[in-house]
Structure 1
Amino acid sequence: MTATTVVPPAAPEDEHVTPRALARSGDPADRIFRGSARTAGAVVLLVMTLVGVFLAGRALTALDDAGRSFLTTSAWEPDSHNFGVAAVLVGTLLIGGVAILFALPLAMGTALYITEYAPRRIKQTLISLVDLMAAVPSVVYGLWGLFLFQPHVVGLSRWLTTYLGWFPAFAVDGDDPRDPLSPNTFYTSSTFIAGMVVALMVTPIACSVMREAFAQAPPGEREGAFALGATPWGVIRSVVLPFGRGGIIGGTMLGLGRALGETIAVYLIISPVFVIQPHILQNGAISVSALIALRYGSASPLGISALMAAGLTLFLMTLVVNFAASSVVARSRSGAGADA
């Protein structure tokens, strides 16, 4: 006796079928939440706009006085009508670049360990400890970097100059690193040291973004890779890292935006010089935020306007970096969510 399978007839195709319209919930709680979210977003945009308008208005006098040379002049002498942000912009970018150079592997390694290797019983503790780093005041990082960290990094700076001094960024003018009597003052208060201290400050931000991206890697792709014989590192290399590429880029750029605006830690460590300083190991550096902290108290009215112009430049630069980071994260797989 053979079993027969009854196939139901196919439903007739209707060319005029339209999807059912989704009605908004009339629940008061939903309306309150929707209104609160919209209000919060509007307030954030309004505050950012007001900050930009305020800086632009206060900077107008200095921008009219300096003209286009504001972006090409290194000196900072507003009372002599000779000022510009060329040196401070280069210093800001170099300090931020050094910070990201150290923060990227540190944040990525920490995020991978927490999501892929850490035992479940200590995972939440590690997450809390990393996030707690972001709550430490920047002045604490600055004092630590100035009195404890800097004396131990001078030897590394001297070593890099000795063996890699042929590379312009690692050269130090006026010093022979092989001379045992050469003073360490050539290597203190440098871009290199300031960048390493700032790296510890931006690592929690980058790590948080990367950790969330890695944790959302599709379980099906993980299990498929394991089923094909992949090792844990093979799964990370073939599944987790490609999926989290947007989180890596976005976290790095968000960390860069944080590093560009760091003030107190950089102000405590660097020795300000108003020249373009491409040698990151050499004494002397400057950034926009440190310049404002250094000169605001004794500035003339024109000097205040010039500092506002420098602040406007930094505001626009960090705004571009953060918007680019958000765009990268939103367009990536890790920013779009994943199916379980």
Structure 2
Amino acid sequence: MADMAVQSTGMEAAAGPYDRAKALSAFKLGDVAFYWTTRLCAISVLLILGGIIISLIAGAWPAIREFGFSFLFTQRWAPANDPPILGALGPIYGTLVTSVIAMVIAIPVGIGIAIFLTELCPQWARRPIGLAVELLAGIPSIIYGMWGFFVLGPFMANHLQPFLIRAFDGVPVLGSIFAGPPSYLSLFNAALILAIMVLPFITAISVDVFKTVPPVLKEAAYGIGCTTWEVVRKVVIPYTRVGVIGGIMLALGRALGETMAVTFIIGNAFRITGSVFSPGTTISAAIASEFAESDGLHQSGLILLGLLLFVLTFLVLSAARLMLMRLERKAGN
């Protein structure tokens, strides 16, 4: 037995250097392969992004050459004219107005739901409410559009819009913003749909970041006599503001680019009015409603609208990233 053990040990010692070198070589090869695989994945994202930008610029070039900067400041949209008259001011206005109204509604509601789920909600009710919020995110946008067209639009036109028109009649500024007549298809209805659609993004991300607050911080605040409102305002929100703002910006990006739901209920009117109860259009809705029947300069103008939406979204997300970097730097200091 001793001779066999010595013989086995000798064989392992003889084979040891060869096996170790082979294993190290295999590990090095795997590490290099993993490095280049991940690097190619990262580069592919840049290539795809660059390809999208180049294709948009190439498709929009005839419209850029024809209209120049006047495309941004012209309200009229008449592709049937000879020559066509195309202006992006109406869609840009509708995109910004609907997104701003949607965020004004969705931000306090979404953060309020997140605060309730993490701080106030009974344990037995957290899962059902959380699932309901997640289901809102999973509903296809076309379903939101159909619901808005058949249910929300008539309800708003028959009940809420007449009330708001009467309530703000004669009030400076607000009287013109909420001016009539009521309409099934309007900027305000589209903004409500967008608010419902982006609500799950704000709520889900806010819930996740609120859960990262160390319990000891909240317990210390409660220990010195703070109320729940004071704990949320002075502990939870300051500790998680970077994550909350990130969720809000993600929701804003979704609101800026939403297509089908908005197309159903906004009215697709290329004009600017002071009232949010009037029909309008957004960049994405204009492209969706007209692209299939377009050609020539008309199609190039729609592609230029897509390029403008790309630039607008890029600027918004870049501004959000810079703001988050400033907040992180201040928190570090």
Normalised TM-score (structure 1): 0.80
Corresponding position: 1:200 with 2:205: no
CA distance in 2, matches of 1:167, 1:260: 29
Check 1:238–1:142 CA distance in 2 against 1; reply closer, same or farther (3 A cut): same
1:229 correspondence with 2:225: yes
Q: Which residue of 1 aligns with 2:55?
A: 54
Instruction: Specify the alignment match of 1:138 in structure 2.
Output: 141
Q: % of aligned pairs identical?
A: 33
**Structure 2 contact 168–174 (Cα < 8 Å) conserved:** no
Q: 1:37 to 1:290 in 2, by over 3 A?
A: same
Counterpart secondary structure, 2:138: coil
Instruction: Map residues 1-340 of structure 1 onto 2, 5 A cutoff.
Output: 36-78=37-79, 79=81, 80-154=83-157, 155-165=159-169, 166-168=171-173, 170-171=175-176, 186-282=182-278, 284-332=279-327
1:123 to 1:333, Cα distance in 2 relative to 1, 3 A: farther
**Amino acid paired to 1:57:** A
Cα gap change, 1:239 to 1:299, in 2 (>3 Å): same
Could you list the per-position Cα deviations for residues 21-77 of structure 1 after superposition, in whole angstroms to 9, with x for gaps in the alignment? xxxxx6888766655544433332322222111111110110100011011001112
Query: For residues 247 and 294 of structure 1, do their structure 2 counterparts lie closer, same or farther at Cα, with a shift above 3 Å needed?
Result: same
Q: Which residue does the alignment assign to 2:17?
A: none
Could you say what secondary structure the match of 1:211 adopts?
helix
Mapped partners of 2:63, 2:167: distance in 1: 44
Deviation at 1:213, TM superposition (A): 2.3
CA distance in 1, matches of 2:126, 2:115: 11
Distance 2:209 2:326 in 1: 13
Conserved in 2, the CA contact under 8 Å of 1:226 and 1:235?
yes
Q: Which moved more, 1:310-319 or 1:127-136?
A: 127-136
**27-36 or 232-241, larger mean C-alpha shift:** 27-36
Superposed CA deviations along residues 251-308 of structure 1, whole A, max 9, x for unmatched, are: 22221211111111111112222222231023x1111111011111221211111100
Gaps spanning 5+ residues in structure 2: where? 1-26
| Matching residue's letter, 1:145 | G
- Quote the Cα distance in structure 2 between the aligned partners of 1:330 and 1:123: 33
- Partner amino acid, structure 2, of 1:67: G
TM-score normalised by length of structure 2: 0.82
C-alpha change, 1:256 and 1:297, in structure 2 (3 Å) is: same
2:15 paired residue number: none
Partner Cα distance (2:224, 2:163) in 1 = 46
Partners in 2 of 1:173 and 1:233 — Cα distance?
33
1: CA distance, partners of 2:31 / 2:323: 30
CA distance in 1, matches of 2:120, 2:31: 40
Q: Which range moved further: 103-112 or 304-313?
A: 103-112
**In structure 2, C-alpha distance between the alignment counterparts of 1:335 and 1:211, rounded to whole Å:** 23
Greater displacement, 78-87 / 66-75: 78-87
Unaligned runs of 5+ in 1: 1-25, 176-184
- For 2:174 and 2:291, locate their aligned partners in 1 and report how far apart those are by CA, in whole Å: 31
| Inter-partner Cα distance in structure 1 for 2:234 and 2:257 | 35
Q: CA distance change for structure 1 residues 333 and 191 in 2, over 3 Å: closer, same or farther?
A: same
Aligned CA distance change for structure 1 residues 256 and 295 (closer, same or farther; 3 Å): same
The 8 Å contact of residues 292 and 307 in structure 1, kept in 2 or not, is answered as: yes
Q: Tell me, what secondary structure is at the counterpart of 1:76?
A: coil
- Of structures 1 and 2, the larger Rg is shown by 2
Answer whether contact 2:165 2:178 (CA < 8 A) is retained: no
Counterpart residue type for residue 54 of structure 2: V
Please tell me whether the aligned partners of residues 149 and 184 of structure 2 are also in contact (alpha carbons under 8 angstroms).
no
* Paired residue secondary structure (2:267): coil
Give the whole-Å Cα distance in 1 for the aligned partners of 2:232 and 2:32.
Answer: 42
Q: Quick one: distance in 2 between partners of 1:242 and 1:268?
A: 39
CA distance in 1, matches of 2:178, 2:248: 32
Cα deviation for residue 157 of structure 1 reads 1.5
Instruction: Give the aligned residue type for 1:87.
Output: G
SS in 2 for 1:230: coil
- Return the structure number with greater helix share: 2
Distance 2:208 2:29 in 1: 32
RMSD between superposed Cα atoms in Å: 2.7
